[in-house]
Amino acid sequence: MKKELIVAIDGPSSAGKSTVGKLLAKRLGYIYIDTGAMYRAMGWKAVRDGINLEDGRAIARFCDETMVDLSLNAGGKSHVLVDGIDVTEAIRTPEMSMMASAISAKQPVRERLVELQRSLGEKGGVVLEGRDVGTVIFPNAGAKFYLDADVRERGRRRWEEMRSKGETVDLEETIEAIRRRDHNDMNRDHSPLKKADDAVLIDSTGLSVDEVIEKMAMVVRERHGDPACR
């Protein structure tokens, strides 16, 4: 029996990584790990506790004292916990998105979470999505993808998601926020967002979720070498 793969999905904000990652993991019978949610969770606690991100000692202490965990409920829905507190919904705001970008640039935070993410995925049979999965966390992942889309399309998706939750948001402001997040993620000193040399690029602009998943599943089947992996 072949060892199950580590599947890495990287890409910018609102490219569809979470949606695709969850459904691809379900299709493969793998565990889904949202690394971006872990950074949002750290950002949530940093805001709550008033942590100064420019204070290196405070950040190091903050990392030592913080535990981020991912769990599945009986219905299969993933939950994000910070020191035992469920923050799954609280971290899904534009403010937490920008905070995740800011705190992910801090080396102690990255080191803490990369260690945890590796421990969660090292045995294989996992789909991890984020911004440095294929370049830093698991550079030897069995299948790597870089999921992207036009920035206006990504902004529109985020805008529609927020409106569906009853939030009053401006489309152009949402698109600009996506651009700022891209710039921050691609230009940070530690583990910047970039496509791994051996990652398969998928532009989801104009593609349905099912079409994206089918492209990824085909690659996983080829890499796994097992027709039953479908």
- What pLDDT is recorded for position 227? 45
- What pLDDT is recorded for position 223? 82
User: Is the pTM higher than 0.85?
Assistant: no
Domains of the chain, each with CATH number or no CATH: 6-222 (3.40.50.300)
- What pLDDT is recorded for position 71? 79
- What pLDDT is recorded for position 226? 56
Query: Residue 110 in contact with residue 65, Cβ under 8 Å?
Result: no
CA dihedral sign of residues 133, 135, 141, 143: positive
27 by Cβ neighbours in 10 Å (0-12 / 13-18 / 19+) ranks as middle
- What pLDDT is recorded for position 225? 66
pLDDT in tens, 38-51: 999 999 999 999 99
Determine the Cα–Cα distance for residues 221 and 230; give it in Å rounded to an integer: 7
- What pLDDT is recorded for position 73? 61
Determine the Cα–Cα distance for residues 160 and 156; give it in Å rounded to an integer: 6
**What is residue 16's DSSP assignment?**
S
- What pLDDT is recorded for position 137? 95
Question: Which residues in the chain come in under a pLDDT of 70?
Answer: 1-3, 72-76, 225-230
> Tokens 């911004």 appear where?
131
